[in-house]
Amino acid sequence: MLIHIRSLLPRKISSLTRHASHTYFSVSAQPSHLPPDEEARDVASLLKTPNWEKNNTLKSLTSHMNPHIASQVISLHSNEPHTCLRFFTYVSKHSSYCFSPPQKLHLLKLIVSSGLYQIAHSVTLSLIREFNRSGKVMLILMSCFNEMRDETGFRLNYPCYSSLLMSLAKLDLGVLTYLTYRRMEADGFVAGEIDYRTIVNALCKNGFTEAAEMFMCKIVKIGFVLDSHICTSLVLGFCRGLRIGEAFRVFDVMSREEGSAPNSVTYSVLIHGLCEVGRIDEAFGFKDQMSEKGCEPSTRTYTVLIKALCDKGLVEKGFGLFDEMRAKGCKGNVHTYTVLINGLCRDGKVDEANGIYRKMVGDGVYPSVVTYNALINGYCKEGRIVQGFEILAVMEKRGCGANVRTFNELMGGLCRVGKPFKAVHLLKRMIDNGLSPDVVSYNVLIDGFCREGFMNVAYKLLGSMSSFDIEPDCVTFTAIIDALCKQGKADVASAFLVLMVRKGINLDEVTCTALIDGFCKLGKTKDALFILETLGKMRLLTTPHSLNVLLDVLSKGCNVKEELAMLGKINKLGLVPSVVTYTTLVDGLIRSGDVSGSLRMLEAMKSSGCLPNVYPYTIIINGLCQFGRLEEAEKLLATMQDSGVSPNHVTYTVMVKGYVNNGKLDRALETVSVMVERGCELNERVYSSLLQGLVALQGSDDACLNKLISMVEQLSGSTRGLYDFVVTRLCKEGRIDESNKLIQSMLKRGVYIEKAIDTIIESYCGRKEHNKCLELITLVLETGFVPSFKSFCLVIQGLKKEGETEQARELVMELLSSNNVLEKAKMLDYVKCLMEGDETGDCSEVIDLVDQLHCKERPMF
């Protein structure tokens, strides 16, 4: 393994550093033989004065000082290395030429080319410590060292090598750490104990555990004693490779040997490894064992276990462990709080997560960008876009720079609420902030436009990915293929599948299933079957899902014989039929009128060990109701419950519709009552069926609507879904004012129905009756509720189009106030971004501008 690293990987690292050099550092530094400029002499004289860093004249002189002049100043003070280092740091901060890493390195090369090696070593050590947070910048630094070595013969000294080893190890650049050690050794320096520890740790962090063990043998031969630090690194390496057995082997050796006993870090690493492979109970056992061995669990130990619980959805248990941790005197760090916040957000408890965030800040723990991203993701998943952008404003105020994922989450949130055009404007803003989009950024946008049916914009985005050297992946193509298939363009979608193959992107079952579904919807089952058989030959079928898609089409076409043949194909391919498979077959038999056959299939399903759930029962019950066989349907419902399968809202809805269609409104109402008692929410189909039954009895539609409202109120007391249904019906009939009065009466009774209000406002905006929208929004706010972002957005955009700019601005401020946004000034810019650009043409212009922004040569400061 060690030989493999030596022989193969240096070429890889060399290519990486060459790429970094080409991209970020292409200015060569030549030694200057000219006398110092007057500017350099003036600055050099100021460095002899006390407290020169605070001198305003010096600040003015250095504000535009280029690296060449700065190197002359350093040459004039070459006998004062400490002053030179201070000036290097000073000019890097104050000169517009020296802010970026490449320009700092250019200045370093000028110092080296002047032969000032002692100063260069001090500067190098400072830069290593400064750049140790970014692997990309560290590669640029390594490239610079190689260039200086080749051009001038400059070598690092031991302190520089030792610091470099630690920085590379910290960045998980294990192979580069080892190669640097070899160069250090070739330059005649003897590594110390801390250097050996660093190399072992770096190799282990990158999974080169065998190489690390061989290196340990060398350490032992030299005379160094293995200690807990080195052995813990090995445990870490094995755990990262999920080789828990090997980790335990090292742990057992540590437990027996003196001087290398497991410490708190060792236990934490092993506990983390156990959690990674799902052995959480054992991990908790090790936590208890720690205390018995005199190693108290640390914050890291608890955080690892809390994360494992939250990842399994056991957030409450995670909080219990958090309380235990605090009771034992361990304070949560930013990672601990972030894990809890993320767990709550995944459970849809974003307001509780916000409470933990406030507690975190109150405890003096400063959130990281990961914390903020978790909160933004939580708000965006719920469609609460304004709050998501408020988090972004808070980040900026607190000096926590947003990263690419921050913008990806916000763009994803906008796409979820059907606003992909605004997401493109946010992409431009992200690039303006100096961030480059990644493949996820484009996938979010392309998927958003595909879902809304704007394929031309999706194609334009696909084409613009190359501007950022981003290659589309399987997710990109799957979004496009799925959208095309849903639009009935399976032939075009198959061309994209061919393009995927040509690009070397591996096909997966999801992509091909989308294409199979597309051909099936066009009735081209032979083409779908060909793709299916090809998938089988390529061994890409892992589930019967693709076959289920074909079965579904055959089912709807009542091709029972072909369906049964397909079931045989499933078995032939070695796939186990799922509940969905059998349910589709049951549906096909019912559609063909073979109720007896569907019941036999239900029994066959049980015999095969695939226990039926509520859906096959519901399909048969629905079929029986459609055939007017209500008594049999009632009996099957009873049988289903006796089998331990509880009816759901679909089952009850089917029964309600069956009773109404057969003139038994009283039985339908009894079923609705049972639905409510069992916690099933009433839905639009139930309301529609009941209204149909009432109209059949009484004839008057308006009177029946009032009767329906009264009946539902008596049954359940909850009329939210009902009012959505009634308002939608009235608005479709053009009776918007009636639906408005109805909703206003509900608001005055303290009932807020967001969907219904959105429908009314959308209808009024369509008629350009914005004053009525403003009246409704005002009433909503007066009754203590907050209108949705969608409603605000529709009215604001409508007012702007009508030239009512002042009213639109006032409504924007109301939007911020009603959402409790404190950072109004910072948010206004983002709200402007949210409110602009809702046209395809405008979006295309923004995409073109994005490409130009990236390709345009920007000044580097």
pTM tops 0.95: no
Read off the pLDDT band of 114 (50, 70, 90): confident
Residues ≥6 apart with Cβ < 8 Å to 50: none
Looking at residue 527, what is its pLDDT? 82
pLDDT band at 157 (very low <50, low <70, confident <90, very high): very high
Q: Please say if the pLDDT value at position 69 is more than 80.
A: yes
Q: From 819, 777, 782, 827, select the one nearest 799 (Cα to Cα).
A: 777
Q: What are phi and psi of 381, to 5 degrees?
A: -65, -30
pLDDT attached to residue 575: 67
Q: How many other C-beta atoms are found inside a 10 Å radius of the C-beta of residue 63?
A: 12
User: From CA 22, how far away is CA 747, in angstroms rounded?
Assistant: 65
- Cα–Cα dist 626/624, whole Å: 5
Helix axes 595-607, 579-591, angle to 10 degrees: 170
Looking at the predicted structure, is the pLDDT value of residue 64 above 90? no
CA dihedral sign of residues 371, 372, 377, 380:
positive
Query: DSSP class of residue 208?
Result: -
Cα→Cα distances 856→98, 439, 639, 851, 860, Å? 21, 21, 71, 8, 12
105 or 577, higher pLDDT: 105
Cβ–Cβ contacts within 10 Å for residue 526, how many? 8
The stretch 435-450 carries a mean pLDDT of 93
* Phi, psi torsion values for 470, nearest 5 degrees: -105, 130
* pLDDT value, residue 300: 92
Choice among 10-14, 44-48, 312-316, 499-503 with the minimum mean pLDDT: 10-14
**How far is residue 234 from each of residues 40, 153, 248, 532, 582, measured CA to CA in Å?**
53, 37, 10, 46, 50
Question: Which residue has better confidence, 696 or 276?
Answer: 276
pLDDT tier, 30 (very low <50, low <70, confident <90, very high otherwise): very low
Q: Which string of b and e fits 291-313 if b means at least 16 CB within 10 Å?
A: eeeebebbebbbbbbbbbbbbee
Task: Using the predicted structure, report yes or no on whether residue 315 has a pLDDT greater than 50.
Answer: yes
Name the strand (E) or helix (H) holding 809.
helix 805-818
pLDDT attached to residue 569: 65
Residue 829 reports pLDDT greater than 80:
no
**Other C-beta atoms within 10 Å of 258: how many?**
6
Whether residue 21 is predicted with pLDDT greater than 70 in this model: the reply is: no
**Closest CA relative to residue 582, chosen from 597, 593, 469:** 597
Query: What phi and psi values does residue 101 have, to the nearest 5 degrees?
Result: -55, -45
* Measured distance CA(732)–CA(740) in Å, rounded: 13
pLDDT at 322 over 90: yes
Q: Is the pLDDT of residue 792 over 60?
A: yes
What is the structure's pLDDT at 531?
78
Instruction: Report residue 631 as tokens.
Output: 């008594």
* Contact in structure between 147 and 105 (CB atoms under 8 Å): no
pLDDT of residue 723 exceeding 90: no
Sign of the CA dihedral with 823 first, then 827, 828, and 829 last: positive
Average pLDDT rounded to a whole number, residues 404-422: 91
Q: Is the pLDDT of residue 16 over 60?
A: no
CB-based contacts of 686: which residues, under 8 Å, 6+ apart?
Answer: 652, 653, 656, 672, 675
- Burial category of 834 from C-beta neighbours within 10 Å (exposed 0-12, middle 13-18, buried 19 and up): buried
Between helix 474-486 and helix 509-521 the angle, nearest 10°, is 10
pLDDT band at 841 (very low <50, low <70, confident <90, very high): low
Which residues, including other chains, have CB under 8 Å from residue 118's CB and lie 6 or more apart?
81
pLDDT of 533 higher than 80: no
Residue 3 pLDDT greater than 50, yes or no: no
Return d(Cα 42, Cα 607) in angstroms, integer.
95
Provide the mean pLDDT of the chain: 84
pLDDT score recorded for residue 555: 64
**The pair of three-digit structure tokens given for residue 796, joined into one six-digit string:** 């604001």
Specify whether the CB–CB gap between 524 and 516 falls below 8 A: no
Q: Give 307's pLDDT tier (boundaries 50, 70, 90).
A: very high
- Confidence at residue 857, expressed as pLDDT on a 0 to 100 scale: 42
